[in-house]
Copies of this chain bind each other. A is one copy, B any other.
Amino acid sequence: MSHTTTTFFLDLINLLGIFAFAISGAMRGVRSQMDIFGIVVLGVVTAVSGGILRDLLIGATPPEAIANWHIMALAVLVGVGVFFFHHLFDHLRHPVLLFDAAGLGVFAATGAQKALTFGLSPVMAAVLGMISGIGGGMVRDILTAQIPVVLRAEIYASAALLGAAITLVGDFLHLPSIESTLAGASLTFILRMMALYRHWSLPRPR
């Protein structure tokens, strides 16, 4: 596949993450009976915080979501859409958590790759991938005065870290970038959803 096509697909995957987190944030706004602007703001903040945190930490300023208007524009559109059509998600058991898991996977994978290109060591790149993934949901939960899901949850940050690591392994094996990204993102998503529906959990202190 040509370089341009690869870039296009990776951009598309990244927009998918923005899309998923914007839905998760906006749905939380709907559940909290916010007005349309609050819903949109919460959607946008959830969508961009992980990436902004990542970019600030690796020194990529201004962050991508600030330098290009199209990321925020997409998140705003999604927020407005959720305001009008939120009943479409009513039949889903955990709409916030489902879309949160999708965003978690995408950002863990793409975040790890971006950190690597900014010169971080593989271990720290995986950690940065995890941070990209968990940042949005963390800010969403803090803003709505809840203990972040990352701290309460069954497998969550651990799924993001594993997905980020798998993506990097793929890159080191010279797999096509898209394949590594999809592998890491899917692994995180599947692990997280399994944990949610099967009530998998990690050990707790006695």
Interface residues of A (CB under 8 A from B): 29-30, 32-39, 41-42, 52, 56-59, 61-63, 66-67, 69, 72, 83, 86, 118, 120-121, 123-124, 127-128, 138, 142-148, 150-158, 201-205
Is the CB–CB distance between B202 and A37 below 8 Å?
yes
Q: Tell me, in angstroms, the Cα distance from A69 to B145 when the chains sit together.
A: 31
A62 smallest CB distance to B (angstroms): 5
Is the CB–CB distance between B153 and A120 below 8 Å?
no
A58 smallest CB distance to B (angstroms): 6
User: In the complex, which residues of chain B have a beta carbon less than 8 angstroms from the beta carbon of A148?
Assistant: 143
Is the CB–CB distance between B153 and A36 below 8 Å?
no
A66 smallest CB distance to B (angstroms): 5
Is the CB–CB distance between A38 and B151 below 8 Å?
yes
User: In the complex, which residues of chain B have a beta carbon less than 8 angstroms from the beta carbon of A29?
Assistant: 151
A120 smallest CB distance to B (angstroms): 7
A29, closest chain B residue (CB): B151
A62-B59 CB under 8 A given contacts A41-B157, A69-B121, A144-B147:
yes
